[in-house]
Amino acid sequence: MIASLHPLYTDIEKPERFTYPFDYEPHPLCQLAANDVQHYIASHEAIREDANHGKMFGVLVVSLPPTSSEKEGGLAFLAAYSGLLAGRNDWPYFVPPVYDAQQPDGHFKTTEREISLATHLSPMTTKKMSQDLQLWLFHQYQLLNARGETKDLVTLWQEYYNRPKLLRKFPLPPGGTGDCCAPKLLQYAYQQGLDPLCMAEFWWGAATKTELRQHLNFYPACRGKCKPILTWMLQGLEVDPNPESLNFARLELPTVYEDDWLLVVDKPSGLLSMPGRIEQFSVETIMRQHYPDSIIAHRLDMPTSGLLIVAKSLEIYHSLQEQFIKHEVRKKYLAVISSPHLKDIPMRGRISLPLRPDPMNRPRQVVDLEHGKQAITDYEVLGTIPTTDQAQGGTLVVLWPQTGRTHQLRIHCAHPDGLGCPIVGDELYGTKGKRLWLHAAELWFRHPATGRQMHLASPFPHPNLSTFLATPDDT
């Protein structure tokens, strides 16, 4: 048997289709394989010590060809890690890289040393040599798909980003593209003539300041680096549909307040605020069926529930926007967060961590002290919510955003320099669950037509709350 191919002895049924790698629930076969990999990591000190700093691992379950005495072949799995592990890309338990650029006497390392020693050259010349070497390296990544066809990394990248605007923005792959788990696993399976069945990736070790991931949690493949590659490599496999392309539930949209100028609605978790790339059903489309000129005054993430202001005219919208710009609108959120590190923080305080988008892994945001935009959240710890059959518990906190950055509250809860405890159900920065337990509970604003000071509230819908703060009057 191939050294990096590990048998699986189980009665678990095979999946009908291969995993859609960008949004999935890990198949039980993948969970079984991941347990084996985790035991291996834990039992090898050098691997474990490096992985403890934070590393993505992946498993690919494959079907083996039957022997002469079998009607059907058995099952096995391949394992991989992202990038290097303890400075190596040749650990025998794991599949090899798509292309090995680490050989000391190979062209890449030899030329890299020559460039670093060429102190007599101008910085511009050195930069050009480095860029040429990186381009050469990308061409060495000859990636297969399930039909046995091959394309190099540069070609498939530029074919994926084929619109002029996108191609100007992403002319070449970023460094490290092709070294993630999924491309390594599929490439090796195709090379060995194995039949891929399902795949999953999990995080081992501590969350880092750029990778807000939780130990042993499963995560989708990164979209920025891997979406162009896997779009090619999965061709020829029957793959699960993209959940985003399926019809969304037509959720009801309760109205909390309405007059001639505006509405305040109570958005359920799972409903878009505005139409997305694929799904059009949203708060805005619902509102425009009744009020054709209506405009959403602000947004909530799809998994976040709670209060949204809807202007019935452009004039009211502009007036509300002015209040948002001047920070005159106050918002109070309630969240249930996991609690392992909560004892290390004050019961109330302020989090200030600047944020920016992660262009290679949208929609994720990252903390960037140098280039990020200011993001400030005040918080207060209220108490503990028990876990029941209805929903996972944790610690109930109040969050007062002083700025309105994308994913601000989610990152400020999850980041080790924030609360260090992800919001329960946060599949981007914590652990996937039935829903994200983040709720826009109260709003204060000045009515743009009457000048009246508005205060509206929505009770937190967590089923394990036996009592809640009394809902204030709309005064």
**Residue from 110, 245, 101 nearest 175 by CA:** 101
Residue 358: active-site member: no
| Inter-CA distances, 135 with 83, 160, 324, 381, Å | 18, 17, 46, 51
Residues 190, 327: Cα–Cα separation, whole Å: 55
Across 255-311, the runs of DSSP E, i.e. the strands, are 255-258, 262-267, 295-296, 305-311
> Which amino acid, one-letter code, is at 472?
P
Q: Is the Cβ–Cβ distance between 190 and 83 less than 8 Å? A: no
Residues 449, 261: Cα–Cα separation, whole Å: 7
Q: Which string of DSSP letters, residue by residue, matches 161-172? A: T-SHHHHHH-SS
SS3 category, 311: strand
Helix 153-160 and helix 223-233, axial crossing angle in degrees, nearest 10: 100
Residues 214, 211: Cα–Cα separation, whole Å: 9
CA 460-463-468 angle, to 5 degrees, is 45
Show Cβ contacts of residue 156 under 8 Å, excluding neighbours closer than 6 positions.
Answer: 143, 228, 229, 232
Q: Is the Cβ–Cβ distance between 229 and 98 less than 8 Å? A: no
Residues 404, 407: Cα–Cα separation, whole Å: 9
**Residue from 249, 310, 246 nearest 448 by CA:** 310
Residues 61, 31: Cα–Cα separation, whole Å: 10
Residues 445, 262: Cα–Cα separation, whole Å: 12
- Residue of 195, 301, 344, 389 with catalytic role: 301
| Inter-CA distances, 121 with 127, 274, 472, Å | 10, 53, 71
Residues 5, 164: Cα–Cα separation, whole Å: 42
How many CB atoms neighbour CB 419 within 10 A? Answer: 27
Residues 307, 416: Cα–Cα separation, whole Å: 29
Residues 426, 336: Cα–Cα separation, whole Å: 10
Active site residues: 301
